[in-house]
Homo-oligomer: A and B are copies of this chain.
Amino acid sequence: MSELLSLKLVTIIAERVLRSRLVNEVRALGARGFTITEVSGEGSRGVRASEWEGSNIKLEVIVAGDVAQRIVDHVAATYFAWHAVIVYVQDVDVVRGRKYLGET
């Protein structure tokens, strides 16, 4: 039976222009992989993010709890004042999860 490891799924929703910068930052903070989805939406502050599809990105990373906290703190400190960025954290059970911790 496959080993399942409890980790954190951190989701960041932001303007597309922040894509490269966010990817570099989450990697520097310890994420070893990421998934990006093009999305659209409207923020909770009434900031309309787009009128068309794909103008925002959803960046997802699976990381250990301490890395999740570092990412959350970094995004809040760096982007919340000026950008309509959303960040949330969920529990996930990951197959072969040790690779997300930097182990082989």
Which A positions have Cβ atoms within 8 angstroms of B?
A: 1-2, 4, 7, 9, 13, 32-45, 53, 56, 58, 62, 69, 72-73, 75-77, 80, 86-96, 99-100
Query: Chain A: interface secondary structure?
Result: strand
Known: A1-B73, A36-B39. A45 touches B99 (CB 8 A): yes
**Are B42 and A34 in contact, CB atoms less than 8 angstroms apart?**
yes
**Are A38 and B58 in contact, CB atoms less than 8 angstroms apart?**
no
**Are B41 and A36 in contact, CB atoms less than 8 angstroms apart?**
yes
**Are B35 and A56 in contact, CB atoms less than 8 angstroms apart?**
yes
Residues of B near A96 (CB, < 8 A) are 76, 80
**Are A72 and B4 in contact, CB atoms less than 8 angstroms apart?**
yes
